Amino acid sequence: MSRVHVTLSVNGEPREMLCEAHQSLLDALRDELGMTGTKEGCATGDCGACSVLADGRLVCSCLMLGVEAEGMDITTIEGIAQGSELHVVQRKFLEAAALQCGICTPGFIVAAKALLDQNPNPDETTIRYWLAGNLCRCTGYDKIVRAVQDAAQELAYEA
Amino acid sequence: MAEAHDYKAIGTRPVRPDGVDKVTGRANFGADLNLPNMLHGKMLRSPHAHARIKRVDVSRALAMDGVYAACSGGDFPTNERTTDLAKNCMARDKALYHGHAVAAVAARTPYIAERALDLIEVEYEPLAPVLDVDAAMADGAVLVDENLRTNGDASKPPSNVAAIVKFERGDVEQGFAEADVVVEVDCRVPTAHQGYIEPHACTATINEEGEATVWCCTQGHFDVRSLTANVLGKSVGEIKVIPSEIGGGFGGKTIIYLEPIAVKLSEMSGRPVKMVMTREEVFRATGPTSATHCRAKVGAKRDGKITAASAWLAYEAGAFAGAPVGPGCMSILAPYDLEHFSIEGHDVLVNKPKVAAYRAPGAPQAMHAMESAIDDLARELGMDPIDLRLKNSADEGTQAPYGPVFPAIGFRKCLEATKAHPNYTKPKAEGTGRGVAAGFWFNIGMQSSAEARLSEDGTVTVVEGNPDIGGSRASMCLMAAETLGVPYETVRTHVGDTESTGFCNVTGGSRTTFATGLAVVQACEDIIAQCKQRAAATWDVDVEQVDWADGQAIPKPGVNVDANPLSLRDIAKNAGRTGGPILGRASVNAQGAGASFSVNFADVKVDRETGKIDVLSFTGIQDAGTAIHPAYVEGQMQGGAVQGLGWALNEEYIYDENGVMENAGFLDYRVPVASDMPMIDTQIIEVPNPSHPYGVRGVGETPIVAPLAATSNAARDALGFRIADLPLSPPRVLEAIDNQADA
């Protein structure tokens, strides 16, 4: 089976990968680039564990083909912290105990960052609807929503 | 024992030690391991809910380019001792549910493996399936297992009822005769899945001497080791299991599905084999918990004193015996002090996946029935539902319906806290309903081991064997820091594999913080004992003259030593000169797990046009014994509440008449999402468990028990009539509203 050469940027770094035509971006990231921070929970776009940013837009990487990422800027969970400094959303998740098992956490953090990038002051309802594409079975969402609220508050304070 | 407010570490909310790796994508979960030369395994699953397997031929699949191994039931040891678990991992002569594994292949890529499955030839003789408890218990029912006899009684004819269990006290007929008011509910709760976000995954390799290594996501790698050995006919010592991080389990990852198959495929191919389930496979072939049919009846005097209660429970086991009906029977009346009761439970086989533990297994369904009846009783009596429960509540000294006498328990305190809670004293909003229910879970102890290793700079490494499913490393660090008298940051906890730490039972039964915590505390006490000896030797005094306080050895009052206290760090630094490395060890079979009670209440609004129920507020009040890390205790309470709310409002397996699940995905098996839920308010009650040095009870399971009935009771309050069955999904609610309007 012939594979397709794909050139893209991942977390600001130029990368190349050989994808099978049917391979999802999620599988390409995990299996071709060895970036396993992005998780598979369903592979049908229902759980959000595989959330990444594609040219800044929040997508389920299981619903995109690897070959579709040609020329795109992809941001994964591995690219959210800046060097040794955690992103405020990551820090607030830790401080608020907003994770239990942690499998959904990469997706939630990517999604929450995307929200705050475009709406730095969301109300609770906005946060809940924005994160409605990410399933968490452990926390009941309470502490996740609070962590995002805390992150927004800190960003507002810094601004 | 010290009061909670005296603790320095316990009761604080530090960042968990494994946290950074979990917010940055570094943490490795079940599917994240890749080995050189690794193959990918896939399972062929039965398209029939019930069928005889006449022939399986994998030869065409094996001949496909890129396929290296294939196996089916005939490749595994099969004799009269073959366990149900082994037959569940790979079908032998019969496929017992839609999705039952019948063969497997290993290939160079997952894609090739999947295509190779199409080349496996299986000849089935389809049989009629039996799909619910009522049909399975009826005369002349199709038999799931022709050799099964109730309670193993060979004198009885074969049956789908694997077991009948009974609990009785007093004279229940007399009790009902004494009652002024008697109420009864009859309700069905459908199959629900644990719904952990991480599908089952493992990677296995085996060498030419038969030594296997398995990496997997599990709640208990020691159990994976013994169960895999059992299925393969190997000794436990031939298998090493390394647990990855685990992406949720809720009881569903306490057994095995893939591991022995991956080892077998590795043995056949001589290469490592990775197997990862799809979400559809998770729904069709793992978990779930029992669908149930329950009847609950309760009678009381006008003043609210309950005179008798009875219950009849029938639980689907799936295709093999083992529904959690025993714990359902044992929990259903646990909150109450009763003179007369009778409970009868049935473990019933049907052609559905073998059930697995799910958070307080069996209790939510049973208590949904009884707590609905108690709610109806309160209405009949015109009593506040909390007052009715206070009048009949179990307390210290009450003999539990399942036998033992309760030591100190927190149920009354939960009830009193509910009455005083601002969410309860606040009048409900116009057009809404409020419902209350009690919850209970036993919690368990069992076996755990731990080591506490003192490093040369005075930091401490705790090694134990319970996968951290929700912050337990942080709890272990807090208990170790408290015991040693050192800062939390100087202690790290690691989850060891089956070769690097002593035996631990599963992370389940809400036992880890209690039982493994006990082992960790004792391992730290072992360190302290050794440190006191080193200090005594250094000071040339008797060890009896040395105390331990605030992380240092000090001379006892009145002992004249011309020296400064020796800190843990000082002792660690000099360990080489005072006798060598210091290693604390403990292994326990923890007794005295503390029962945990709760009271939950919900305010709901019913949309009479669509039948949709919105949860406006939800409050969980629960006795934790002592909250070691209160944020993670709250997290358990909130997460359990939302799982319970999902079960109450939406979640159910929908089957067609052939026993094929029609909603095997997260789009159609709809678990709650963030926008469905309000904040979940919590109040932790602390009635310390006398059997744990810091009073821990275990908190993980009780939270899912009460939400089913609390939601049902709230809907009853809002609607003006009860819908006994769950889930209270829009179609069911709308139909009930329409029927009520017609009546």
Rounded to the nearest integer, the mean pLDDT of chain A is 97
| Residue B458 token pair | 């005075």
Smallest CA–CA distance, residue B134 to chain A, in Å, is: 31
A65 and A109 co-located in one domain: no
Other Cβ atoms within 10 Å of B662 Cβ, number: 10
Rounded CA separation B470/B478 (Å)? 15
pLDDT tens digits for range B59-82: 999 999 999 999 999 999 999 889
| Residue B409: both structure tokens together | 């328990």
Specify the DSSP element, H or E, that contains B343.
Answer: strand B341-349
Residues of B in contact with A11 (CB under 8 A): none
Give the pLDDT of residue B2.
Answer: 39
Please determine, for residue B4, whether its predicted confidence score (pLDDT) is greater than 60. no
Q: In what order do the strands lie in the sheet with B446-454?
A: B491-495, B460-464, B446-454, B583-590
Q: Alpha helices of B145-232 — where are they, by DSSP H?
A: 172-178, 221-232
Tell me which residue in A34, A43, A140 faces B638 most closely, judged by beta carbons.
Answer: A140
Residues A97, A72: one domain? no
CATH number of the domain encompassing residue A154: 1.10.150.120
Residues of B in contact with A81 (CB under 8 A): 24
Q: Both A60 and A94 in a single domain? A: no
Gyration radius of chain B over CA positions: 27
Which domains, ranges and CATH numbers included, belong to chain B?
Answer: 4-26+445-590 (3.30.365.10), 33-127+198-247+253-285 (3.90.1170.50), 360-441+594-742 (3.30.365.10)
The three state secondary structure string of A58-97 is EEEHHHCEHHHHCCCEEECHHHCCECCECCHHHHHHHHCC
User: What single string gives the DSSP state of each residue in B237-297?
Assistant: GGEEEEE------TTTTSS-SSHHHHHHHHHHHTS-EEEE--HHHHHHHS--B--EEEEEE
Is A86 in the B-facing interface, judged by CB distances under 8 Å? yes
The proportion of chain A whose per-residue pLDDT surpasses 90, expressed as a percent, equals 96
Which chain B residues have a beta carbon less than 8 Å from that of A134? 673-674
Of the candidates A36, A86, A145, which has its C-beta nearest B674's C-beta? A145
B115 band by pLDDT with thresholds 50, 70 and 90? very high
Q: Per the structure, how many domains does chain A have?
A: 2
A-chain residues near B25 (CB < 8 A): 35-38, 76-78, 106
pLDDT at residue A158, rounded to an integer: 79
In angstroms, the separation between the Cα of residue A19 and the nearest Cα of chain B is: 13
Look-up of token digits 């890749």: B34
Residues 6+ apart with CB under 8 A from A129: B674, B675
CB within 8 Å: A128 and B674? yes
Q: Please tell me the distance in Å from B727's CA to the nearest CA on chain A.
A: 18
Burial class (CB in 10 A: 0-12, 13-18, 19+), B307: buried
Paired sense of beta strands B239-243 and B212-216, if any: parallel
C-alpha neighbours within 13 Å on the C-beta side of residue B192: 31
Q: How far is the C-alpha of B632 from the C-alpha of B496, rounded, in Å?
A: 22
Amino acid at B676: D
The answer to whether the CB atoms of B665 and A46 lie below 8 A apart is yes
Contact status, residue B311 vs residue B166, Cβ threshold 8 Å? no
Distance CA A77, CA A100 (A): 17
Residues of B in contact with A38 (CB under 8 A): 25
Looking at the fold, whether A109 and A47 belong to one and the same domain comes out as no
**A127 — contact with chain B (CB < 8 Å)?**
yes
User: How many Cβ atoms are within 10 Å of B397's Cβ, its own excluded?
Assistant: 11
Q: Residues of A with CB below 8 A from B278's CB?
A: 43
∠ CA B6-B8-B10 to the nearest 5 degrees? Answer: 95
Residues A139 and A116 placed together within one structural domain of the fold = yes
Task: Please state the rounded mean pLDDT for residues B292-306.
Answer: 98
CB contact under 8 A, A34 and B34: yes
Q: Which of B27, B109, B638 sits opposite A102 (nearest CB)?
A: B27
Same domain, A53 and A105: no
CA distance B475 to chain A (A): 12
Assigned token pair, B247:
């992406």
pLDDT at position B260 over 50: yes
Spell out the residues 6+ positions from residue B59 whose beta carbon is closer than 8 angstroms to its own.
none
A24 and A67: one domain? yes
Percent of chain B scoring above 90 in pLDDT:
97
For chains A and B, what is the number of CB pairs under 8 angstroms? 187
pLDDT of residue B1: 39
CA distance A28 to A21: 10
Closest-CA distance, B632 to chain A, in angstroms, reads 7
| Pairwise CA distance, residues B697 & B353, whole Å | 32
Amino acid at site B392: N
Q: How far apart are CA B350 and CA B79, in angstroms?
A: 23
Q: Which residues on chain B are in Cβ contact (under 8 Å) with A30?
A: 32
Burial class of residue A16, CB neighbours in 10 A (0-12, 13-18, 19+): exposed
- Using an 8 Å CB-CB cutoff, list chain A residues near B666: 41-42, 44, 46-47, 135
Say which DSSP state B593 is in. Answer: P
- Interchain pair A131, B674: CB under 8 A: yes
CATH code, domain carrying A44: 3.10.20.30
Do residues A75 and A22 share a domain?
Answer: yes
Q: Report CB contact under 8 Å: B24, A86.
A: yes
Residue B695 has pLDDT above 80, yes or no: yes
Contact B331, B389 (CB under 8 A): no
A 94-123: CB under 8 A from B: 94-97, 99-106, 109
pLDDT tens per residue across span B624-670: 999 999 999 999 999 999 999 999 999 999 999 999 999 999 999 99
Measured between beta carbons, which residues in chain A are less than 8 angstroms from residue B631?
A: 96-97, 143
Does the distance separating the beta carbons of A144 and B25 come in below 8 Å?
Answer: no
User: Tokens 């009885």 appear where?
Assistant: B156
Per-residue pLDDT, averaged over B709-713, amounts to 98
Which of B248, B278, B677 comes nearest A43 by C-beta?
B278
Judging contacts by C-beta atoms under 8 Å, the chain B residues touching residue A51 are: none
Residue B22: list chain A partners with CB under 8 A.
99, 102, 105
pLDDT at residue number B560 = 77
The secondary element (H helix, E strand) that includes residue B571 is helix B568-573
User: Which of A20, A131, A142 is closest, CB to CB, to B679?
Assistant: A142
Residues A14 and A73 occupy one common structural domain: yes
Residues of the domain holding A17: 4-79
- Is the predicted pLDDT of residue A63 greater than 80, yes or no? yes
Residues of B in contact with A106 (CB under 8 A): 23, 25
Q: Quote the Cα angle for B344-B350-B352, to 5°.
A: 125
Question: Measured between beta carbons, which residues in chain A are less than 8 angstroms from residue B199?
Answer: 40-41
The residue out of A53, A79, A105 marking a domain boundary is: A79
Evaluate if residue B559 carries a pLDDT over 90. no
Q: Name the closest residue on chain B to residue A144, using Cα atoms.
A: B674
Q: Decide: B363 and B328 in contact? Cβ < 8 Å.
A: yes
Find the CB nearest A101 among B109, B246, B671: B246
For residues B549-558, average pLDDT? 94
Of B82-91, B550-559, B565-574, B665-674, where does mean pLDDT reach its minimum? B550-559
Q: Is the dihedral of CA B686, B688, B693, B696 positive or negative?
A: negative
A residues 3..42 contacting B (CB < 8 A): 20, 22, 30-31, 34-42
**Domain C-terminal end among A48, A79, A110:** A79
Give the predicted TM-score (pTM) of the model.
0.98
Tell me the C-alpha to C-alpha distance, in Å, between residue B536 and each of B89, B357, B485, B553, B555: 57, 50, 19, 9, 9
Nearest CA in chain A to B249: A101
Question: Given the structure tokens 């116009």, which residue do they identify?
Answer: B430
> How wide is the angle at C-alpha A77 spanned by C-alphas A72 and A78, nearest 5°?
90
Please indicate whether, in this complex, the C-beta atoms of A103 and B250 are within 8 angstroms of each other.
no
Chain A: give the shortest CA distance to residue B570, in Å: 32
Q: Quick check: A42 and B279 CB within 8 A?
A: yes
CA closest to A47 among chain B residues: B666
Residue A1 is predicted with a pLDDT of 61
Distance between CA B619 and CA B603 in Å, rounded?
9
**Cβ-Cβ contacts under 8 Å, B638 against chain A:** 139-143
Q: Considering only alpha carbons, which residue of chain A is nearest residue B672?
A: A135
The alpha-carbon gap from B13 to the nearest alpha carbon of chain A, in Å, equals: 8
Q: How many whole angstroms from its chain centre is CA B658?
A: 30
Residues A75 and A128 in one domain: no
Mutate to test the interface with A, among B16, B24, B512 (most CBs of A within 10 A): B24
Average pLDDT, chain B: 97
The pLDDT tens digits for B300-338 are 999 999 999 999 999 999 999 999 999 999 999 999 999
Amino acid at B487: P
The C-alpha of B261 sits at a distance from chain A's nearest C-alpha, in angstroms, of: 22
Instruction: Verify that A61 and A103 share a domain, yes or no.
Output: no
pLDDT average, residue stretch B700-720: 98
Q: How confident is the model at residue B5 (pLDDT cuts 50, 70, 90)?
A: low
B15, B246, B249 ranked by CB distance to A95: nearest:
B15
Query: Does ipTM surpass 0.95 in this model?
Result: yes
A12 and A60 assigned to the same domain:
yes
Hey, what are B336's tokens? 């109450």
Orientation angle between helical segments A105-118 and A88-95, nearest 10 degrees: 130
Q: Are B241 and B218 in contact (CB under 8 A)?
A: yes
Q: Would you call A82 an interface residue with chain B, using a CB distance cutoff of 8 Å?
A: no
Tell whether the model's pLDDT for residue B91 goes beyond 60.
yes
Per-residue confidence (pLDDT) for residue B47, from 0 to 100? 98
In sequence order, which residues have a C-beta less than 8 Å from that of residue B521 and are 6 or more positions away? B479, B480, B483, B586, B693, B694
pLDDT per position as a tens digit, B423-465: 999 999 999 999 999 999 999 999 999 999 999 999 999 999 9
Which of B22, B666, B677 should we substitute to test contact with A (largest number of A Cβ atoms within 10 Å)? B22
A1, with CB counted inside 10 A (0-12, 13-18, 19+), is: exposed
Residue A105: HSE in the Cβ half-sphere, 13 Å Cα cutoff? 38
